[in-house]
Structure 1
Amino acid sequence: MTQVPDPADPQAPEGVDLERPNAARIYDWFLGGTANWAIDREFGERAVKTFPTIKSIAQLGRQFLGRGVEYMARQGIDQFLDLGSGVPTVGNVHEIAVSVNPDARCVYVDNEPVAVAHSQILLEREGVADRHAVIHGDLRQPGEIWPRALDTGVLDPKRPIGLIMCGVLYFVGPDEDALGIVRKYLSLVPSGSYFFASHLTLDGVKSPDEDSREAIREQYKQSSTPFHHRTREEFTEFFDGLELVKPGVTWVPEWHPDEAASRLINRIAEDPSFSGGLGAMGRKP
């Protein structure tokens, strides 16, 4: 049976799949956003019943992104390519970067039409669409995405770029050569660029809730965006040849923690592995 939009939902942009829930829109719901539809909210509510702290884990990922962008901006990076950027919400890359350097620029890339449409609306509303851009495309096609990103005129390929793949690599399947995709992008960005990424894992997770985590993974198979865990070793391999920023590959809450850490639920604060997310940043020599 064809899924129809809830009458209370906004008009869906062209190309939006309302037959199945989508990770970008589900994540938006986890964070309290409004760029989602009934099918996404129903999925999210089931996910919360399966894994009650999933909203807190989503917030951890968003905080991690913000800390990484701020760090890169403070190192002098003033242009960013955010792959799998998702739906705009609190703490978007361009907003954080501009708070450090008013001249910072960003190109967003996502394959979810809702994310792209809302990103474009946000940039136009803020009056900054001439300095930032959004592309509808699949990050798994670097040979297509890279020239399109340059065609926006936002990025200067001769100067260091902050390459971001946060909360997205686990949607690249085990048979889709995620490592090759990352290495292709890294071969295109110039020396001095940074690569910032996160990934879900079961490797080293201490919390005794493996059944719930596996149940969530099974639930996402019902969506248009199933996800896949990778080991710490597999995630670390993405950074081969880069100069790792301290503390290296670590749990997301432990990467350059700030005052936000004190606001985390006790379980995560006491056991960072509960986040189930590894994060790291590397600099291309």
Structure 2
Amino acid sequence: MRFVTRFAPSPTGPLHLGHAYSALLAHDMARAEGGTFLLRIEDTDTERSRPEWEAQIYDDLRWLGLSWPEPLLRQSDHLARYDAALAVLADRGLLYPCSCSRADIRAAQSAPQEGAPVAVYPGTCRGRSMESRRPGDALRLDLRRAFRAIGRAPLCWTETGPDHAGAQETRAETLIPLSGDPVLGRKELATASYLLASTLDDALQEISHVIRGADLLDFTALQVLLQRLFELPTPIYHHHRLIRDAAGKRLAKRDDARAIATYRAGDATPADVRRMVGLS
């Protein structure tokens, strides 16, 4: 198998040490296997994506010593392809429009008869038809129908990460209560969710190994489901540890003190960053 992996940041803020670790690890693993490291810009969040943040991504990664083939894939150039995929799922009766806000979902989950976690969508709009979609509605995948479409077979994939190595498997009765029906089309018209766009792009770019943080582990089964629905190959997944602050909190883009650009502007070297994230 040809080893191809990617680092896929969103240009919505400065990259921090957690991004540095993920990008360096993916780059190192690809190099060790004689493979290819790709950079992908996931800029479907049109409200928060900025050209200056995208330019800084390139500067930060090149300063770290990383390189990648050109031209790279920018998701904003592929919106029509994502829309076509949504149309396929809609034609198969697997999507429905949803007008629920986060507050609506929290209110529904707090009802006495509901025992699921607050984050799980309770299916309030599941009975709606696509013809009832209004501007501002999201598009959700009906997981029950999706599993019936693949024959209710278990979802299987391989993990090589430090905490979840080996063959993995999940079934409808396990996944549905934990995830609820996921959003595939955001409320902004013609905007695919991360879940859908990333799945389609991994196939388009022939990604063999997805290397990313453990915070995205829960997306994996849903992406494998989409791969089955579209008859796409399933990569090997490697979910790495997260870089945290002194209090044990996962780093965020708003944490400018740990931004790569802050270290670039100071006296730090790329080798120093490698030591900070445990890669030296």
Same fold (TM over 0.5): no
Larger radius of gyration: 2
Higher RCO (Cα < 8 Å, 6 or more apart): 2
TM-score by length of 2: 0.28
